[in-house]
Chain A
């Protein structure tokens, strides 16, 4: 079955530390991949998305993700996190011909000031 896996369920960092959240997918062929963020008490919102082209995708708030087809990965990165990045992060994906995206279980990120 097609799936999206997030291996880090809880991450705790200090401000200014670098962040990398793992995401692996199991689709073959064309894939569409997304990272969403859910800040405490707020709506889920799109951070970035990949459809095709440059495998390094830039998103909002300084986040980026790299699509590595050979590793079936789409890891989220940020060089220097801030306290305000404390949130739940969800990776999602779908095959190009599918209607339904699959979400990972989420990673809870806590950034200490």
Chain B
């Protein structure tokens, strides 16, 4: 089975621009989550999509948005880029997603997209 893929792997943008990142989950996985990884901050949860609906959302401003398509592929958009948005953006997929209770599927992570904002 192919793993989680993310495109592009590297991006350089300038302040004020917008950017779209793409994630293709493992075949059959319906949940896609996005995380921002920065040195010293670890991974911070952005949002999770399941069956084309945003099911969970972290504490990020509205400039960060996403969507999921019927084939479970997901895109993440950041508008009006700021210097502080420079980070590694990780996508993770799982079968049923971040479900409550004891039955939590393992998340499989992609290689990430390294975004640099100048």
Residues of chain A having any CB pair with chain B under 8 Å: 6, 9, 30, 32, 36, 42-46, 49, 51-52, 90, 92, 94, 96-106
Can you pick out 22 interface pairs between chain A and chain B where the beta carbons lie within 8 Å of each other?
A: A32-B104, A36-B109, A44-B43, A44-B90, A44-B92, A44-B109, A45-B108, A49-B106, A51-B102, A94-B104, A97-B101, A99-B55, A99-B56, A99-B98, A99-B100, A100-B98, A101-B98, A103-B42, A103-B43, A103-B45, A104-B42, A105-B40
CB neighbours of A6 from chain B (8 A): 42
Please determine whether B48 and A32 come into contact, CB atoms closer than 8 angstroms.
no
Please determine whether A96 and B100 come into contact, CB atoms closer than 8 angstroms.
yes
Say how far A33's CB is from chain B's closest CB, in angstroms. Answer: 11
Say how far A50's CB is from chain B's closest CB, in angstroms. Answer: 11
- For residue B51, CB closer than 8 A to chain A, the reply is no
- For residue B99, CB closer than 8 A to chain A, the reply is yes
Please determine whether B102 and A46 come into contact, CB atoms closer than 8 angstroms.
no
B100 nearest CB neighbor, chain A only: A97
Say how far A99's CB is from chain B's closest CB, in angstroms. Answer: 4
| B interface residues, tally (CB under 8 Å) | 29
Residue-wise interface mask of B (76-118) relative to A, using a CB-CB cutoff of 8 A (1 in contact, 0 not): 0000000000000010100001111110101111111000000
Say how far B59's CB is from chain A's closest CB, in angstroms. Answer: 10
Task: Given A96-B100, A99-B100, decide whether A45 and B42 contact each other with a Cβ distance below 8 A.
Answer: no
CB neighbours of A94 from chain B (8 A): 98, 104
The CA of A30 and the CA of B41, in the complex, are separated in Å by: 25
Secondary structure of the A side of the interface? loop
The CA of A106 and the CA of B40, in the complex, are separated in Å by: 7
Please determine whether A96 and B98 come into contact, CB atoms closer than 8 angstroms.
no
CB neighbours of A96 from chain B (8 A): 100-102
Which residues of chain B (48-79) have a CB below 8 Å from chain A? Answer: 48, 55-56, 58
CB neighbours of B42 from chain A (8 A): 6, 90, 103-106
- For residue B3, CB closer than 8 A to chain A, the reply is yes
- For residue B7, CB closer than 8 A to chain A, the reply is no
